[in-house]
Structure 1
Amino acid sequence: MLKFPFEINDISDALNRTLLDYFKGERDGFVQVGPSKYFFPKQFKKNAESYYNFQARPSDIWVSTFPRSGTTWTQELVWLIGNNLDFERAKNELLTSRFPFFEFNTFMHPQVKQELLQANKYDEEHQNFIHRISQSIIPYLDGMSEQRFIKTHLPLSLMPPSVFQENSKIIYVARNPKDVALSYYHLNRLYKTQGYIGEFEFYWRIFKTGLNAWLPYWDHLEEAWGRRTDPNILFIFYEEMNNDIRKTINRISSFMGRSYSKEQVEQLAEHLNIKSFKCNNSVNGLEMRKVKILNEREGDFIRNGIINGSDYELTPELQKEMNKWISENLEKSGIIFPDF
């Protein structure tokens, strides 16, 4: 077994107390991992080695993103391309089963799990679902005989080395950080496993300084951007997908060694239309809402999907600050976002 190669350090007690006051889904505290100080709940310590030693296969397809970068949309697109546009199965089988989330168990604190089990104490099916998603997905993946489709938010440096040794395919999606930050704020309020209770202004300070799960944002993107010419990596922008989904379908199909007719591409594009996508119960998080993992007082898991949607919710002062931060980091990183 490989030793996990990066240091995992607890954050300071004072900072830990502050963050625990705002993030009610974590109870023990947080750690920072490696030279980039990637941010995780403390449970990452006990899971890091098993993640790192996961045995990938050449046929695996990974969708890797920073959260709220069009992940679910891309998963559905990729799974259908890889499964001969089997819309019937996609309709009847949850995306969370078809395309498992690699590291989700790190974010289900045992106390939160018990609270959810108690909230679902009269429904055995719901309790079984909670038990299942709280466990490591690795034994399930190891036991699969069919092609595996895997979702992760881990940066490339924390992914299992076998992914690169076996040349598994990785589709990495990047999105404008202003839209990501606002959407991620809403997700942190929505999911009880995060349980954020503050306002956006404070959350923005957390996001900017890398103090929420999977941050820092720029390090995450720069790792993938630096390897975008690797033959097993397809780097795409959410803005490109949003602007021309048909072109994106063809690009991903080619990367996956598939080819579909113009009519089939049109059918898939219609399936992915945001209006129908939001109502698709196999992808829209309904199963999470049923078991009370989602906060009833918050909005939908799938939001509006528009570009520059953050402009409608932010004050001019905050927009100016965010734009300055983005501009400075784009200049340093060399990443070029599409301007649609």
Structure 2
Amino acid sequence: MAAHAKSVDELKARLAKLFTEEGRLRGLSFTPRPHDVFVTTLAKAGTTWVQQIVHQLRTRGSMDFEEITEVIPWVEAASDIGIDLEAEQVATPRAFKTHCWYDHCPKGGKYIVVMRNPRAVAPSFYKMFAGWWFQPSDIDVNTFVKSFWLARGKPQSKLENSSYWHFYASWWPHRHDSNVLWLFYEDMLEDHLGAVKKIATFINCGANDEELHQLVVKQSSLEFMKKHVVKYDDHLVKSRRNEAVGLPKDASGAAKVNEGNNEAYKAMLSPEVIQAIDDAWKLMEDVTGFSCYEDLRKNSSFTK
């Protein structure tokens, strides 16, 4: 009988089967149109939130979808769950989600890159996996972050996901590109309306439509999305892939809509793990010249 992973090694082995090799490579070989929009984030850095904003802008507030992946396909998973990336979508511009670093991301479209404090990303990633891929009693958060999240590095092939640092370091040289919009998750929390306006302008959907902006702010709020939480829980992916990776058919971790609490790590992570996350920033410092996340965020005038 299928069961949850009992160790980090077992978790890694199962995650390697989340996408079929054929399906993932087919997705990464996709050729976008110039106006296609990619929500390009590391997992737990605002992916679902930005998907919702994009879809609400391009449809003027439609909630007529089963799960967000149905209308904004996940590039890496689309083939395995029966979604044709080449197909027309319910609205324009077409929109897609990806967690790919720059080197492997399909080129030719427009890219919304969202960055979030790594101290907050790591425990949020754990919360998403706990109860779906493993039970918290089997793998605690500090073990997970040290042995899984921090252990990720530079992808050796298109079948691997990058680390947090390799992901953002790969996109950093493109932050000024005309087809790239770089946002900080914390800035979005502080100025939700401002973020909606930036995205509207970037994707050319109602850039000057104040009524639309207010509607999208309402329908991409935490309160609104929690009322429709089943539309953001990845159940399309889970229903197609759980059994294939050895998980119970009904295994489902925490929904992807959460409080967005950037301070939760203080209660969840040990001082040693927090320090390890900070130490791993060295790669980003070498690339950007900024010694920590907050310095980079506060001094990045290109997002203002």
**Given the alignment of the two structures, is residue 203 of structure 1 paired with residue 144 of structure 2, yes or no?**
yes
Give the direction of change, closer, same or farther, for the CA distance of 1:78–1:199 in structure 2 (3 Å limit): same
Match of 2:77 in 1: 104
**Given the alignment of the two structures, is residue 333 of structure 1 paired with residue 290 of structure 2, yes or no?**
no
1:252 to 196, 199, 212: 199
CA distance in 2, matches of 1:42, 1:285: 16
Give, as a single letter, the amino acid of the residue that structure 1 aligns with 2:194: K
1:217 to 144, 147, 164: 164
Match of 1:95 in 2: 68
Give, as a single letter, the amino acid of the residue that structure 2 aligns with 1:332: D
CA distance in 2, matches of 1:19, 1:43: 18
Deviations 1:76-121 (A, max 9, x none): 10112222x2x2x32555312110111126xxxxxxxxxxxxxxxx
Q: In 2, are the aligned partners of 1:190 and 1:301 still within 8 Å (CA)?
A: no
CA distance in 2, matches of 1:281, 1:337: 33
Q: In 1, are the aligned partners of 2:19 and 2:80 still within 8 Å (CA)?
A: no
**Given the alignment of the two structures, is residue 67 of structure 1 paired with residue 43 of structure 2, yes or no?**
yes
Equivalent residue of 1:178, what SS?
helix
CA distance in 2, matches of 1:294, 1:183: 21
Q: In 2, are the aligned partners of 1:23 and 1:195 still within 8 Å (CA)?
A: no
Give the direction of change, closer, same or farther, for the CA distance of 1:266–1:293 in structure 2 (3 Å limit): farther
How much has 1:250 moved relative to structure 2?
1.0
Give, as a single letter, the amino acid of the residue that structure 2 aligns with 1:21: E
Give the direction of change, closer, same or farther, for the CA distance of 1:304–1:134 in structure 2 (3 Å limit): same
Give the direction of change, closer, same or farther, for the CA distance of 1:306–1:134 in structure 2 (3 Å limit): same
How do 1:249-288 and structure 2 match up within 5 A? Answer: 249-258=196-205, 259-281=207-229, 283-285=231-233, 287=235
CA distance in 2, matches of 1:77, 1:43: 26
CA distance in 2, matches of 1:98, 1:282: 14
Equivalent residue of 1:234, what SS?
strand
Give the direction of change, closer, same or farther, for the CA distance of 1:264–1:54 in structure 2 (3 Å limit): closer
Give the direction of change, closer, same or farther, for the CA distance of 1:293–1:181 in structure 2 (3 Å limit): farther
Structure 1 residue runs of 5 or longer lacking an equivalent are 1-17, 31-40, 106-132
**Given the alignment of the two structures, is residue 158 of structure 1 paired with residue 113 of structure 2, yes or no?**
no
Give, as a single letter, the amino acid of the residue that structure 1 aligns with 2:150: K
CA distance in 2, matches of 1:189, 1:46: 28
2:256 to 262, 287, 301: 301
How much has 1:65 moved relative to structure 2?
0.7
Equivalent residue of 1:320, what SS?
helix
CA distance in 1, matches of 2:189, 2:105: 27
CA distance in 2, matches of 1:67, 1:156: 15
Give the direction of change, closer, same or farther, for the CA distance of 1:329–1:143 in structure 2 (3 Å limit): closer
Q: In 2, are the aligned partners of 1:189 and 1:295 still within 8 Å (CA)?
A: no
Equivalent residue of 2:124, what SS?
helix
Give the direction of change, closer, same or farther, for the CA distance of 1:293–1:195 in structure 2 (3 Å limit): farther
Equivalent residue of 1:90, what SS?
coil
Give, as a single letter, the amino acid of the residue that structure 1 aligns with 2:297: P
Q: TM-score, normalised to structure 1's length? A: 0.69
Structure 2 residue runs of 5 or longer lacking an equivalent are 1-6, 240-247, 300-304
Q: How many residues align?
A: 271
Give the direction of change, closer, same or farther, for the CA distance of 1:309–1:53 in structure 2 (3 Å limit): same
Deviations 1:99-158 (A, max 9, x none): 0111126xxxxxxxxxxxxxxxxxxxxxxxxxxx73453xx2223265321111111211
Give, as a single letter, the amino acid of the residue that structure 1 aligns with 2:73: P
Q: In 1, are the aligned partners of 2:38 and 2:111 still within 8 Å (CA)?
A: yes
Equivalent residue of 2:201, what SS?
helix
**Given the alignment of the two structures, is residue 171 of structure 1 paired with residue 117 of structure 2, yes or no?**
no
Match of 2:244 in 1: none
CA distance in 2, matches of 1:60, 1:181: 29
Match of 1:21 in 2: 10
**Given the alignment of the two structures, is residue 143 of structure 1 paired with residue 87 of structure 2, yes or no?**
yes
How much has 1:277 moved relative to structure 2?
1.4
Match of 1:79 in 2: 55
Match of 2:302 in 1: none
RMSD: 3.2
CA distance in 2, matches of 1:143, 1:299: 31
Larger radius of gyration: 1
Q: In 1, are the aligned partners of 2:193 and 2:217 still within 8 Å (CA)?
A: yes
CA distance in 1, matches of 2:249, 2:267: 28
